[in-house]
A and B are shown apart, each in its own frame.
Chain A
Amino acid sequence: MSDNNEALIKKDRLRFSKNKMSSGLILAAIAANALYFVSIYKSDVGSYYYKLFIGVSIVYNLIFMLVAFLSSEGVKNYKMGYAYTAIVIGLLQFGRIFYLPREAHETPNPVVGSEDLTVMQDEQFHYVVILLCISAVLLIVAGIIGIIKTSTLRNYQAELDRKL
C-alpha cells in the first residue's frame, strides 16, 4: 500500500468512524474538573467561601460539565462549532487558576491561631492547579484534533461530491 493510498484510506475512514479521541479527551477533562471541585468543596476552602462566590463557582462547574459533555458529543460527530467550544472552555479552565485557587492560596486563614497559614495550603493548591491545567490541556487538544479531523473530513466530502 503506497503512502498516498494509505492517506486516502485514512481520510475515507473518517466518513464511517466517529472522533472518539476528541470525545474521550473531553470526558477525561470533565473527570479532572470533577476531582478539582471535589477537592475544593470537601476542604475548609469550601466553608470559607460559604457565600455567593462559592455558589457561582458551583453553578459554573455545573455549566462547565454540561457544555463540556455537549462538546464531547459534538466533536464525536465532527461538529466544528463544538470543537471551538472545547478550546474556549479549555482556555477558561486556565483562567480559573487565577481566580479561586490562587485567591484562596493567597488569603490568610481567618481561624484563630492559624494566621500564619493561608485558606488553601500549598499541597492542595498545587493539586488543584495541576487538575485545572490537565483539564484545560485536554480540552484544547481535543478541540484542535476536532478542528483538524472535521476540516479533513469536510474537504474530503467536498472532493467526493465534486467527483460525483
Chain B
Amino acid sequence: MSDLKLQHLEKIYDNKVQAVYDFDLEIDDGELIVLVGPSGCGKSTTLRMVAGLEDISKGNLIIDGKDVTQMPPKDRDIAMVFQNYALYGHMTVYENMAFSLMLRKQNKNEIHQKVMAAAEILDLTSQLNKKPGQLSGGQRQRVAMGRAIVRTPKVFLFDEPLSNLDAKLRSATRREILLLHKRLHATMLYVTHDQTEALTLADRIVCMSMGHVQQIGTPLELYDTPANLFVAGFIGLPPMNLFDVEIRDGHAVCADFITDLTPEETRILSPYNGKTVTMGVRPENVVLGGAINVDVSSNENLGQNTLVNGSVGKHRITCKFRDWCNYRYGDTVQVSFNKKHFFDKDTTNAIR
C-alpha cells in the first residue's frame, strides 16, 4: 500500500466547463478518505482523474512518490470498484476475480491462492462457482471488491459502491468495507453522496460542492465544526436548522425568538454586534424546556428518538428529542438550544 498526493488538481472539459477546482489533498498510507457532496459536485470526476479515466487538466497526481499524472490507468497500480459492479456475466465468481491476474499471465496456482484468500475475506467461498446473475446485489458488490483485492493494488478506489443496494444491505456492506479496510490496511478513496456512509467509513472526509473543496477533516470535525453553511447543511441528518439572527449584547435576536449567547459565543461574535448572522442549530441540539415556542406540525417516532417538525413564527424547525413523544398537530412545545453554530451572512464561513 502507499500514500497518495493530489496536488492542485483541476478538471476542465473541452467545452471549457470546469468540474474540479484546485483539489489539493495528501492521503497517508492506509487512510480511508471519503469524497462526499451532492450530485455534480466533482467527486466522481476527481476519482476518475486518480484512476486515469479522465485526463488531469492541471496539477499533479503522485502515488507512492511517483508522478503518475500522465500515466495510463493500467500502469497506475490502482483498483476501482464501480457502482454497477462491472462484472462479466458469462464468467463465474472465481473467473471474475481471477480474470485480471490471468490477463497478466500470472502463475495459475498463485492466482488460485489469491482468489481463495480474497474469497475467504469476503465470505464468498461458497459462491465461487456461481455466475453474477445468481448472486444478490451485496454479493455482487463483494465480488467486485474481491476482484480489486486480488490485485493487491497500491490504492483502492470506490465509486458509490453501495448506491445500488437496499438500505439493509447497504448497511451490512458498509460494515464489510470498514472491516476490509481494517484488515488490509489499504489506502482507499471512496466517493459517495450519502453522508451516513461518509461519517461511518471515513478517516477523513472531503466535502465538495460545485467543484470546490469545502472542508477536509475527520467526521467529527465536519459534524461539530462545519467550515461553512454548505457543510453545515449537508452533513447531519436531518439537516441543521438555520435562522437569520441579529447579535445584540449577548443575545441572538430574530422576529420570532430571542436566545441567550454563552460568554464564549458572545466573545467570538463581538465583531458582529448589531449585525445579522446565520445561526445554525442541529435538530439534536434542540432540547425540551425553554422560552422558544415551537408549533408542532408533525411528530415522527423513530423508536430511540422522536423527530418533531414545526415552526417558530415563520421559521421552520426540526427537533430531535431523545424521548418517545406523542405531540399532535397544533401543540406548542417549549424548547431551547444547547449548542449553536454561527456563520457570516456574506461569506457563509463559520464564525470562530
Contact = CB atoms under 8 A, between A and B. Distances in A.
Interface stretch (A4-12, A21-29, A85-93, A123-131): A4-12
Given A16-B92, A16-B94, A6 B109 contact: yes
A1 B109 contact: yes
Interface in A8-42: 9-10, 12-13, 15-17
A17 B94 contact: yes
A13 B112 CA distance: 7
B115 to A, nearest CB: 8
B113 interface: yes
Nearest to B97: A16
Interface string B85-125: 00000001011000000000000110011011000000000
Contacts of B109: 1, 6, 9-10, 13
Most B CB within 10 A of own CB, among A6, A9, A15, A16: A16
Contact of A9 (B92, B95, B112, B128): B112
Contacts of A13: 108-109, 112
A9 B94 contact: no
A15 B125 CA distance: 11
A9 B129 contact: no
A4 B15 CA distance: 61
Contacts of B116: 12
A16 B129 contact: yes
Contacts of A12: 112, 116
Interface in A38-57: none
A140 B112 CA distance: 29
Most buried by B among A6, A10, A13: A13
B337 to A, nearest CB: 60
Contacts of A10: 109
Contacts of B129: 15-16
B111 to A, nearest CB: 9
Contacts of A9: 109, 112-113
A3 to B, nearest CB: 11
A161 to B, nearest CB: 14
20 contacts: A1-B109, A9-B109, A9-B112, A9-B113, A10-B109, A12-B116, A13-B108, A13-B109, A13-B112, A15-B128, A15-B129, A16-B92, A16-B94, A16-B95, A16-B112, A16-B115, A16-B128, A16-B129, A17-B94, A17-B95
Given A1-B109, A9-B109, A16-B94, 18 more contacts: A6-B109, A9-B112, A9-B113, A10-B109, A12-B112, A12-B116, A13-B108, A13-B109, A13-B112, A15-B128, A15-B129, A16-B92, A16-B95, A16-B112, A16-B115, A16-B129, A17-B94, A17-B95
Interface of B: 92, 94-95, 108-109, 112-113, 115-116, 128-129
Nearest 3 CB-CB pairings of A with B? A16-B94, A9-B109, A13-B112
